[in-house]
């Protein structure tokens, strides 16, 4: 899946899901649509600029008003301008109703239980990004090693739990997938 296609294929729940470090490294440039103002300024300083500096990826952030029509136009035309979108929950649900966004099929990840039972979240701010990134990994490799999981998720930040529980949750999700549950 290319990053340009990701906008159509994945849900980006509130707030930002910056979960495509592997693809970003190959592309070297990503565009993020967000809500502007102080929120975007804080994203820029906290996430985008450090990520850009560390991985040598050019990040352009643009302002959008959470109007699902802006996503729909890109999907229908095939002219994707954004790689990652901050979207409110209602906008995401509207996108699903319009058929331009697909909800994550947790069944393909072994169910939500892998993250919930593993206590792989506290505040949950980082969870959408980890889920999206984990799904992308498990879609192409249902039996990743711990090292592969750590590399794949390296672009995602969690300020609460530490990463070991998240890594174990992805391993658990992989086991559930391979067990067919």
| Distance in Å, CB of 81 to ligand FES, minimum | 28
Nearer to ligand FES, 54 or 159 (CB): 159
| Distance in Å, CB of 107 to ligand FES, minimum | 23
Q: Are the C-beta atoms of residues 153 and 133 closer than 8 Å to each other?
A: yes
Residue from 82, 109, 83 nearest 176 by CA: 109
**In angstroms, what is the C-alpha Rg of the chain?**
16
| Distance in Å, CB of 157 to ligand FES, minimum | 7
Strand segments (E) across the chain = 29-34, 58-63, 84-85
Q: Are the C-beta atoms of residues 71 and 101 closer than 8 Å to each other?
A: yes
| Distance in Å, CB of 130 to ligand FES, minimum | 8
Nearer to ligand FES, 22 or 122 (CB): 122
Residue from 33, 41, 177, 172 nearest 95 by CA: 33
Nearer to ligand FES, 97 or 164 (CB): 164
Nearer to ligand FES, 68 or 173 (CB): 173
Say whether 155 sits in a helix, a strand or coil.
coil
Instruction: Report cis status (omega within 30 of 0) of the bond before 15.
Output: yes
- DSSP assignment of 69-105 equals HHHHHHHHHT----SEE---HHHHHHHHHHTSS----
| Distance in Å, CB of 39 to ligand FES, minimum | 16
Nearer to ligand FES, 98 or 168 (CB): 168
- Residue numbers at the binding site for ligand FES (CB under 6 A): 121-126, 158-161
């Amino acid at each position: 899946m290319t990053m340009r296609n990701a906008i159509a294929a994945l849900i980006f729940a509130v707030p930002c899901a910056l979960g495509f470090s592997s693809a970003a490294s190959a592309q070297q440039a990503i565009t993020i649509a967000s809500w502007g103002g102080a929120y975007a300024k804080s994203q820029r300083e906290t996430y985008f600029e450090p990520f850009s500096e560390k991985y040598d990826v050019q990040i352009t952030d643009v302002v959008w008003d959470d109007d699902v029509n802006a996503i729909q136009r890109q999907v229908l035309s095939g002219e994707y301008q954004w790689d990652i979108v901050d979207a409110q929950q209602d906008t995401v649900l509207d996108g699903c109703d319009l058929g331009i966004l697909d909800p994550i099929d947790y069944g393909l990840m072994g169910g939500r239980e892998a993250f919930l039972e593993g206590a792989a979240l506290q505040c949950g701010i980082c969870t959408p990004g980890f889920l999206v990134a984990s799904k992308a990994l498990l879609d192409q490799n249902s039996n990743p090693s711990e090292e592969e999981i750590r590399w794949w998720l390296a672009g995602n930040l969690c300020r609460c739990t530490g990463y070991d529980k998240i890594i174990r949750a992805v391993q658990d999700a992989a086991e559930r997938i391979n067990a067919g549950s």
